[in-house]
Amino acid sequence: MKTKLYISTILLMALSWVSCDDFLTTDLKGEYTSENYYTSAENATMAVNAIYNSLYGNTLWIFGDVASDDAVKGGNAGDQADINAINDFSAKSDNGVLNTYWKSTYETVSRANNAITNIPGISMDENLKNRLIAEAKFLRAYSYFSLTNIFGKVPLKLQPQNTVAAIYVGLSEVSVIYTQIEKDLTEAIPALPAEYPAEKGRITKGAAYALLAKVQLYQKKYTESLVSIQSLEDLQLYDLIDNYSDLFKSGAEDSVEVIFGLRYINNTEVSLGNNLNVWFAPSPEGGYYFNAPTQSYVDAFTEKTIANQDDPRLDASIGRQGKPWFNNSTFNAAWSEATGYLVKKYNEDMVTGLAKSQSAVPYHAIRYADVLLMKAEAINEAGGTDAVTKAAAEVNKVRARAGLAATTAATQATLRTVIRNERRKELGFEFHRFFDLMRWGKETAEAALGSDFKWAEPRFYFPIPQSELDTNKALQ
């Protein structure tokens, strides 16, 4: 069985020119297989580009935000019932959101597997070859990291889908999946450049170190996580920018704070924009006003700045009554039927003639502030001499950018609370919160998520989609 890769070519055939037998026996034009596609550096590059392309239908917000205490479904009360089932943890295996996320993420895995398997056989520049394979391994690792944090045990597919054994794969333990993720990232790091002179947005060495550090932190491998973070910091490429709100504007993808994320173009001719803009925007702007921030999220901002102002991260992250919105307007709580608040991070001032659904505002999957907070957490949890003091110093870098005074936390327990609160405020609506709650454990998760949430050991996972249960014979 061959893996088929179809290109967007339309062939117009005058059927009167050929007999029926000729038509039925003629090879399909414009068809590539794994045997005739992976033959050049150009095709290898396009194959890896296609892996990136598969990431752009970004629905991680439904899990990271809506399933957390930071947001509810929002939108019209009767719209998108499957998202509401994620919101209240009643989703069954036939849930459309679960099915869509599963299929789109495994599409990324499939494209990565094709590249990792087939690019080694191409006669081409070895440095470029190794770099492309490394990019594919990172993207496969990133995909499995998301899959296992949403579904727990999942099929660990590492080969192209061209044999029965590769198609029908049983569930792997979470620990086994994490081991493979670490392997992919560790193997990718040597071949990845620290930065690109021209091809901005491709996976870098820093991105691999950052994701590896996060994967290790999720497994409570604190010492290993700190080693990965140190390797990232040794690159001397990343820092906090001065103005928090500037991170969420068009062009922020080139900031020294961004380590890995998705870039977009506002262009009405091709769908290369960030459609989170239209999902989260208010109805008067043509938006659907989903992912409505909760009062609980707003109430997390209890501290005033040194200048006795509101923490600037609040109004940079959400719209609230009477505060500046976009296009010189003021936010109206009536725009959000569910809570009176809307997400601000992926909205932008709209330029005449450009589509609302084509925002150029980037999505940051990992940025340096996240790394600093991971570092603080790892130091604090690992313990040891002066651990609290050292961890507090990392937290204070993030707090200082927000204009807050240095933390006075003096014990591991009190600093743990500070770190967790800072993650919520700093990374709000960047799709991390639910996964943080899960890894912090039963007591923290239940306190945050309320009576709708029922913890299940070893932690809550959403059900595997029915479509996979029906088609994957290894799961029956």
Which pLDDT score is estimated for 31? 61
Amino acid at 265: I
pLDDT tens digits for 371-403? 999 999 999 999 999 999 999 999 999 999 999
- The candidate with the shortest Cα–Cα distance to 394, out of 225, 265, 252, 270, is 225
DSSP summary character for residue 359: B
Residues 6+ apart with CB under 8 A from 293: 70, 71, 317, 318, 339, 341, 342, 343, 428, 429
Residue pair 320/336 in contact (Cβ under 8 Å)? The answer is: no
Which pLDDT score is estimated for 8? 33
Domain boundaries, the chain: 41-191
Query: At residue 26, does pLDDT exceed 70?
Result: no
Which pLDDT score is estimated for 57? 84
Confidence of residue 235 (pLDDT cuts 50, 70, 90): very high
The yes or no reply on domain 41-191 and CATH 1.10.357.10 is no
Confidence of residue 301 (pLDDT cuts 50, 70, 90): very high
Residue 129 CA, chain-centre distance (Å), reads 26
Query: At residue 18, does pLDDT exceed 70?
Result: no
Mean pLDDT of 427-448: 98
Residue 371 CA, chain-centre distance (Å), reads 15
Mean pLDDT of 86-99: 97
Mean pLDDT of 55-59: 90
Which pLDDT score is estimated for 303? 97
Residues 6+ apart with CB under 8 A from 375: 226, 229, 391, 394
Which pLDDT score is estimated for 426? 98
d(Cα 217, Cα 230) in Å, to the nearest integer? Answer: 14
Which pLDDT score is estimated for 28? 44
Amino acid at 177: I
Which pLDDT score is estimated for 42? 97
Mean pLDDT of 335-352: 88
Confidence of residue 6 (pLDDT cuts 50, 70, 90): very low
DSSP for 410-426 reads -SHHHHHHHHHHHHHHH
DSSP for 220-232 reads T-HHHHHHHHHHH
Which pLDDT score is estimated for 327? 87
d(Cα 396, Cα 418) in Å, to the nearest integer? Answer: 10
Query: At residue 207, does pLDDT exceed 70?
Result: yes
Confidence of residue 451 (pLDDT cuts 50, 70, 90): confident
Query: At residue 440, does pLDDT exceed 90?
Result: yes
Confidence of residue 410 (pLDDT cuts 50, 70, 90): very high
Amino acid at 52: Y
Which pLDDT score is estimated for 32? 60
d(Cα 150, Cα 323) in Å, to the nearest integer? Answer: 35
d(Cα 304, Cα 239) in Å, to the nearest integer? Answer: 24
Residue pair 105/143 in contact (Cβ under 8 Å)? The answer is: yes
Encoding tokens for residue 367?
A: 């940025």
DSSP summary character for residue 258: E
Residue pair 389/403 in contact (Cβ under 8 Å)? The answer is: no
Mean pLDDT of 125-151: 98
Beta-strand ranges (E) seen in 280-347 are 290-293, 318-319, 342-343
Which pLDDT score is estimated for 273? 84
Buried b (16+ CB within 10 A) or exposed e, 84-94: bbbbbeebeee
Q: First and final CA of the chain: distance in angstroms?
A: 23
Query: At residue 143, does pLDDT exceed 90?
Result: yes
pLDDT tens digits for 412-422? 999 999 999 99
Which pLDDT score is estimated for 269? 61
d(Cα 70, Cα 292) in Å, to the nearest integer? Answer: 8
Query: At residue 266, does pLDDT exceed 90?
Result: no
Residue pair 37/7 in contact (Cβ under 8 Å)? The answer is: no
Work out the mean pLDDT of the chain and round it to a whole number: 91
Which pLDDT score is estimated for 459? 96
Amino acid at 92: K
Query: At residue 33, does pLDDT exceed 70?
Result: no
Residue pair 470/457 in contact (Cβ under 8 Å)? The answer is: no
Query: At residue 21, does pLDDT exceed 80?
Result: no
Confidence of residue 318 (pLDDT cuts 50, 70, 90): very high
Query: At residue 311, does pLDDT exceed 60?
Result: yes
- The candidate with the shortest Cα–Cα distance to 382, out of 198, 232, 138, 217, is 217
